[in-house]
């Protein structure tokens, strides 16, 4: 069975060219880049090259790139740093739809006495910027708003948000979790209001276990990991050289493929969306009226369970994911769809397809062929579904 992988917001295939780039740095060129000898020095050169490549994709300078272990670490490092830089400030602003890498940390800080404002979203997943304007005050240490949502693909107006933070924030830091945006849409830190940005290698065809914190020049920073002087004392720990080199290559390729992402990949997503809506009654797109990433489709089918859809699709070789998280044995609809006010019956039956440059038209055709009978079958099995279909 050929697998049809449409779960690229969860993780991506390592590009073979990326793998080839990193391969020598395990068994042959395994020197420590901090070593004085030639053997470490040649690795240091490749790490520098990778730093340049990442910076190029972001429109940043190489000194602004700090390698970390993952997107989660970058998010945690950014928020904790802001609170250490401003120990007297006790207010954090974020959104209700952040990834747990931000939301769980903020909620934990909330339990430890910080005031946390979680901005609301409307039914399409969009923020109300007036709510941000009203929330920000001289006690705000950091505003952390994701660039694009991992479940719906909804893109936030990061530069407009940054302007508000700069105007009203009295020096508050502005951080964005751009884990889902980097490589999919163009970013330019040179002209941006962002102080700190997180990205993760495994979302853009590099391996798991490598991330970046972009740290604007001049922005004060307190490191999350302390110890050695790696990454100019901004992140201690011997560098994950092979993964860093891989991420550099992945960023170079992402820049090359950006047009494809916004052309061919978007066209495949749009076709999938249009044909599923035409073939399956009582389906709606989550965030369909908002600006979205070109690769993401979150679609809700009333009166069916997302998990059941995924299981049946998986039997056909199709990998997608649902908008639900299985918590303590009960099926909770996702916090993102709940924040958007998606009705319970739709939130439960939501499925996310997320594409990449490695998908092709035959994948889209297979999903369009296999999904409608799956939904039909599940609706026939469900007492609610039958009642609803009989009407
Ligand atoms: N932020 C967002 C928006 C994500 O989608 C993810 C991963 O799914 C993360 C952060 C966490 O990244 P990592 O898996 O590299 O820790």
Q: What is the Cα–Cα distance from 183 to 72, expressed in whole angstroms?
A: 18
Smallest CA-to-CA distance from 209 within 244, 258, 183 is with 244
Whether ligand 1 lies within 6 angstroms of the CB of 146 is answered as: yes
Instruction: Label residue 186 left, alpha or beta by phi (over 0 means left) and psi (-120 to 50 means alpha).
Output: beta
Beta strands in 223-380 (DSSP E): 283-285, 296-301, 318-319, 321-322, 324-327, 330-333, 350-354
CA of 25 to the centre of ligand 1 (A): 25
Whether ligand 1 lies within 6 angstroms of the CB of 207 is answered as: no
CA of 9 to the centre of ligand 1 (A): 9
Whether ligand 1 lies within 6 angstroms of the CB of 68 is answered as: no
Q: What is the DSSP letter of 64?
A: G
- Work out the widest C-alpha separation in the chain, in whole angstroms: 77
Q: All domains of the chain, ordered by start, with CATH?
A: 4-11+257-390 (3.90.1150.10), 16-253 (3.40.640.10)
**Token pair of 67, please?**
């390698």
**pTM of the predicted model as reported, rounded to 2 decimal places:** 0.97
Q: In whole angstroms, how far apart are CA 112 and each of 90, 108, 296?
A: 10, 7, 36
**Token pair of 102, please?**
């931000």
Q: What is the Cα–Cα distance from 376 to 296, expressed in whole angstroms?
A: 23
CB-based contacts of 305, cutoff 8 Å, min separation 6:
324, 331, 348, 349, 378
The b-or-e profile of 363-387 (16+ CB within 10 A means b, else e) is: bbebbbebbbebbbebbeebeebee
CA of 203 to the centre of ligand 1 (A): 8
Q: What is the Cα–Cα distance from 272 to 15, expressed in whole angstroms?
A: 24
Whether ligand 1 lies within 6 angstroms of the CB of 182 is answered as: no
Only one residue has tokens 């330019």, namely 188
Pairing outcome for strands 321-322 and 350-354: antiparallel
Pocket mutation for ligand 1, best pick of 8, 78, 101 (most atoms within 8 Å of C-beta)? 101
CA of 71 to the centre of ligand 1 (A): 5
Index of the ligand 1 atom closest to the CA of residue 74? 16
Pocket mutation for ligand 1, best pick of 10, 78, 98, 150 (most atoms within 8 Å of C-beta)? 150
Q: In whole angstroms, how far apart are CA 346 and each of 124, 306, 330, 338, 350?
A: 14, 9, 17, 10, 6
Nearest CA to ligand 1 atom 5: 150
Q: In whole angstroms, how far apart are CA 371 and each of 3, 35, 147, 346?
A: 15, 55, 30, 16
Pocket mutation for ligand 1, best pick of 76, 99, 105, 204 (most atoms within 8 Å of C-beta)? 99
326 in active site: yes
Whether ligand 1 lies within 6 angstroms of the CB of 179 is answered as: yes
By the 8 A CB rule, do 58 and 186 touch? no
By the 8 A CB rule, do 210 and 72 touch? no
Whether ligand 1 lies within 6 angstroms of the CB of 352 is answered as: no
Question: How do the pLDDT tens digits run along the chain, 391 residues long?
Answer: 889 999 999 999 999 999 999 999 999 999 999 999 999 999 999 999 999 999 999 999 999 999 999 999 999 999 999 999 999 999 999 999 999 999 999 999 999 999 999 999 999 999 999 999 999 999 999 999 999 999 999 999 999 999 999 999 999 999 999 999 999 999 999 999 999 999 999 999 999 999 999 999 999 999 999 999 999 999 999 999 999 999 999 999 999 999 887 899 999 999 999 999 999 999 999 999 999 999 999 999 999 999 999 999 999 999 999 866 554 445 678 999 999 999 988 888 999 999 999 999 999 999 999 999 999 999 998 776 666 666 5
- Number of CB atoms found within 10 A of residue 118's CB: 18
């Amino acid at each position: 069975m050929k697998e049809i992988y449409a779960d690229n917001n969860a993780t991506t295939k390592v590009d073979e060219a990326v793998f080839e780039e990193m391969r020598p740095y395990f068994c042959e060129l395994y020197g420590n880049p901090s070593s004085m000898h030639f053997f470490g020095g040649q690795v240091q050169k490749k790490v520098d090259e990778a730093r340049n490549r990442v910076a190029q994709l972001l429109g940043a300078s190489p000194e602004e790139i700090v390698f970390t272990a993952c997107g989660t670490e970058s998010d945690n490092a950014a928020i904790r740093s802001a609170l250490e830089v401003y120990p007297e400030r006790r207010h954090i602003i974020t959104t209700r739809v952040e990834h747990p890498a931000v939301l769980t940390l903020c909620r934990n800080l909330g339990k430890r006495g910080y005031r946390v404002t979680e901005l609301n979203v409307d039914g399409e997943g969009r923020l109300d910027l007036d709510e941000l304007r009203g929330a920000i005050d001289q006690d705000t240490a950091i505003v952390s708003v994701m660039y694009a949502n991992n479940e719906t693909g909804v893109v936030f107006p990061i530069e407009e948000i940054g302007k508000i933070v700069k105007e009203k924030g009295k020096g508050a830091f502005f951080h964005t979790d751009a884990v889902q945006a980097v490589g999919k849409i163009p970013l330019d830190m040179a002209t941006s209001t962002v102080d700190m940005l997180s990205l993760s290698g495994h979302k853009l065809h590099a391996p798991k276990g490598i991330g970046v914190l972009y740290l604007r020049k001049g922005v004060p920073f307190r490191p999350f990991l302390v110890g050695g002087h790696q990454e100019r004392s901004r992140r201690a720990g011997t560098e994950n050289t092979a993964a860093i080199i891989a991420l550099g290559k992945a960023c170079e390729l992402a820049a090359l493929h950006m047009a494809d992402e916004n052309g061919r990949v978007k066209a495949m997503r749009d076709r999938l969306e249009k044909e599923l809506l035409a073939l399956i009654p009582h389906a709606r797109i989550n965030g369909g009226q908002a600006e979205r990433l070109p690769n993401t489709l979150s679609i809700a089918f009333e009166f069916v369970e997302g998990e059941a859809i995924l299981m049946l699709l998986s039997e056909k070789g199709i990998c997608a994911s649902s908008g639900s998280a299985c918590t303590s044995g009960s099926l909770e609809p996702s916090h993102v769809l709940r924040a958007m006010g998606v009705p319970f019956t739709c939130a439960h039956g939501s499925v996310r397809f997320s594409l990449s440059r490695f998908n092709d038209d035959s994948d889209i055709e297979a999903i369009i062929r296999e999904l409608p009978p799956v939904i039909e079958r599940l609706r026939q099995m469900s007492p609610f579904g039958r009642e609803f279909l009989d009407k």
